[in-house]
Amino acid sequence: MNINSILPVAKRHLLLANAVVWGAPGVKVLVTGIQSYLAIWPSEIIVWLALGTAAVLVVFNWMFDFFVKKYTRRICSFPTERKSLLAFLPVKGWVMVTFFMCLGITLKLIPGVPTEFFASFYPGLGTALIVAGARFFASWLKAGETGE
What is the tens place of the pLDDT at every residue in 63-76?
A: 999 999 999 999 99
Burial of 106 (0-12, 13-18, 19+ CB in 10 A): exposed
Mean pLDDT (the chain) is 90
Residue 124 counted as domain residue: yes
Nearest to 80 by CA among 138, 8, 6, 146: 8
Number of domains in the chain: 1
Q: Could you tell me which residues are beta bridge partners of residue 9? A: 83
Decide if pLDDT at 144 tops 90.
no
Residue 139 counted as domain residue: yes
Decide if pLDDT at 122 tops 90.
yes
7: left (phi over 0), alpha (psi -120 to 50) or beta: left
pTM for this one? Answer: 0.89
Q: The domain containing residue 70 runs over which residues?
A: 9-146
SS3 call for 37? helix
**Pure H helices in the chain:** 13-40, 46-76, 91-109, 115-146
Question: What would the pLDDT profile of 40-52 be if each residue is shown by its tens digit?
Answer: 878 777 888 889 8
Nearest to 140 by CA among 72, 62, 67, 61: 72
Decide if pLDDT at 127 tops 70.
yes
Whole-number pLDDT of residue 86? 87
Residue 1 counted as domain residue: no
Residue 25 DSSP label? H
